[in-house]
Amino acid sequence: MAEDYLSKMVQKRMYIQLARIKKALVVGVSARHIHLCREDMEILFGKDYELTKIYDLLQPGEFAARETVTIIGPKMKSINNVRILGPLRPTTQVELAMSDAVPLGIKPPVSKSGNLKGSSAAVLVGPKGVLNLGEGCIRANRHIHIDPETAQVLRLSNDELISVRACGIKSTILGDVQVRVKEDWIPTIHLDTDDANAADLKQGDIVWIEC
């Protein structure tokens, strides 16, 4: 446990230094996943149910849960085993890439996390119940998580849109990347699987903030 804590601290320090000194951000690839509110979680998994953590995600407090559900779209096509991420949130939000959404028969808007205006409908099926979501499916926008001090060093402000460069075999400039600043966040960029594949980026790769 102590070693775990130490390696987390080293990792955090490294990500911060990379950002501050090299203007480099470590890539986190967000595969399709779901955030649930308590009410919806209890519909899917039963009354007073609690999510089971299988591992911590990089940002403090965030975790991958053991629980998964099936998403069904209007064409009755489905995707099984879609991971729930914890902790619970005030509102349920389903985050898909376009290549997930097309087979389901929906076209979710590209949105900031939490902005569900115009988002797509879907049905979620859990072991204890079925949830008919009138809205809640989005394609999460490109965004970075960053702590206030590092943001200040890089002269970035909350909600600003920046560009980053991927320098691999599919070198790409990714624009309209939202800067999200919060205390204790570790500098990283979150991309969906379509963006990551298009730029040949995988978890742990580096992109460079454009001047």
What is the binding site for Zn ion (CB under 5 A)?
190
Min separation Cβ 146 and Zn ion, Å: 11
Min separation Cβ 105 and Zn ion, Å: 26
Min separation Cβ 72 and Zn ion, Å: 26
Residue type, 130: V
Nearer to Zn ion, 91 or 132 (CB): 91
Distance CA 26, CA 204 (A): 6
Count of H-run helices and E-run strands, the chain: 5, 14
Nearer to Zn ion, 131 or 142 (CB): 142
Nearer to Zn ion, 57 or 125 (CB): 57
Which one-letter DSSP state was computed for residue 154? T
Nearer to Zn ion, 40 or 192 (CB): 192
Nearer to Zn ion, 35 or 190 (CB): 190
CB 170 within 8 A of CB 146: no
Query: Beta strand 172-181 with 143-146: parallel, antiparallel or unpaired?
Result: parallel
Min separation Cβ 189 and Zn ion, Å: 8
Residues in the chain: 211
Which one-letter DSSP state was computed for residue 146? E
CA proximity to 211, closest of 167, 162, 170: 162
Tokens 């519909």 locate to 43
CA dist list (Å): 74 to 69, 126, 137, 147, 209: 17, 17, 13, 40, 39
Nearer to Zn ion, 139 or 190 (CB): 190
Distance CA 191, CA 28 (A): 6
Min separation Cβ 62 and Zn ion, Å: 9
Min separation Cβ 190 and Zn ion, Å: 4
